[in-house]
Amino acid sequence: MTSEAFAPFQHLAAQLLKHLPPDHHDGSHDLAHIHRVWVNAQRIQRAEGGDLEVLLAATVLHDCVAVEKNSPLRGQASSLSADKAASILTAMGWPAPRVVQVAHAVKTHSYSAGFEPQSLEARILQDSDRLDAIGALGIARCFYVSGRMGSALYDFANPVAQGREYQDGRYAIEHFHTKLLKLASGFQTVEGARLAAIRHARLEAYLADFMDEIGAASAD
């Protein structure tokens, strides 16, 4: 049963999973992604503390409004999800203060939205979601999303983007420079930052290997 993967809050997870959008074939924001964020959140919570039930609700609902990466509404995705999460939990009878806790964590989890997480749970959720964007999984998601958007792997004529801005909308590997390699410096918790440093090293090693294999010098 799917909800069993969200122990020790299987019952709550089963209630919340029913409210997620239908499968839009986005393998970068599917149920597996939600579960990975939950695993990350538990790992950070064990070191940092925080309300695990609030974290479970925020994790399951953090992408409850589906918005494509190239949509003009992308910057509003976390706010839209926060509003929907608040409505869901209110209808379930959650106390207003705890609804606010979850909604704040959902609203502030996004890298691109630019909201500052104020609570421990919000900081943990942001770190947990960002961890899934770097390291081996971040690499896989980068190329997966780029493929869905029709991007090339790299610029054959200018693979290191010499003399121009990076164009990650056209070339997948350039997303490393525009976003992925910047993520590790923005973590909110000590444990999240420690885990991010490990995954950041994997990004750097992969990029160096990639450039070596295509016969290009690294831009760095």
What is residue 78's predicted lDDT score, i.e. its pLDDT? 85
The confidence band for 3, taking pLDDT boundaries of 50, 70 and 90, is confident
Contact criterion met (CB below 8 Å) for 28 and 170: no
Domain residue spans of the chain: 1-119, 133-220
Contact criterion met (CB below 8 Å) for 131 and 40: yes
- Rounded to the nearest integer, the mean pLDDT of the chain is 89
The confidence band for 72, taking pLDDT boundaries of 50, 70 and 90, is low
Distances, alpha carbon 145 to alpha carbons 46, 57, 140, 170, 172, in Å: 31, 26, 9, 12, 9
Q: Report the CATH number of the 133-220 domain.
A: 1.10.3210.50
Q: Tell me how far apart the alpha carbons of residues 189 and 195 are, in angstroms, rounded to a whole number.
A: 10
Whether residue 2 is predicted with pLDDT greater than 80 in this model: the reply is: no
Q: Tell me how far apart the alpha carbons of residues 181 and 201 are, in angstroms, rounded to a whole number.
A: 9
| 170-188: pLDDT as tens digits | 999 999 999 999 999 989 9
3-state DSSP assignment of residue 127? helix
The confidence band for 67, taking pLDDT boundaries of 50, 70 and 90, is low
| 110-131: pLDDT as tens digits | 867 778 899 999 999 999 999 9
Distances, alpha carbon 167 to alpha carbons 76, 204, 215, in Å: 23, 19, 20
Q: Cα-Cα-Cα-Cα dihedral of 183, 151, 208, 218, to 10°?
A: -100
Of 45-49, 74-78, 95-99, minimum mean pLDDT range: 74-78
Q: Do domains 1-119 and 133-220 have the same CATH topology?
A: yes
| 134-153: pLDDT as tens digits | 999 999 999 999 988 899 99
Name the fold adopted by 1-119: Hypothetical protein af1432 (1.10.3210)
Whether residue 27 is predicted with pLDDT greater than 90 in this model: the reply is: no
What is residue 217's predicted lDDT score, i.e. its pLDDT? 67
Contact criterion met (CB below 8 Å) for 138 and 71: no
Kindly state the DSSP code that residue 22 receives in the 8-state scheme.
P
Q: Which of 9-13, 66-70, 74-78, 190-194 has the highest mean pLDDT?
A: 190-194
Its pTM stands at 0.88
Compute the chain's Rg from CA coordinates: 18
The average pLDDT across 62-85 equals 75
Query: What is the 3 state secondary structure string of 111-135?
Result: CCCCCCCCCHHHHHHHHHHHHCCCH
Whether residue 1 is predicted with pLDDT greater than 50 in this model: the reply is: no
What is residue 115's predicted lDDT score, i.e. its pLDDT? 81
What is residue 20's predicted lDDT score, i.e. its pLDDT? 85
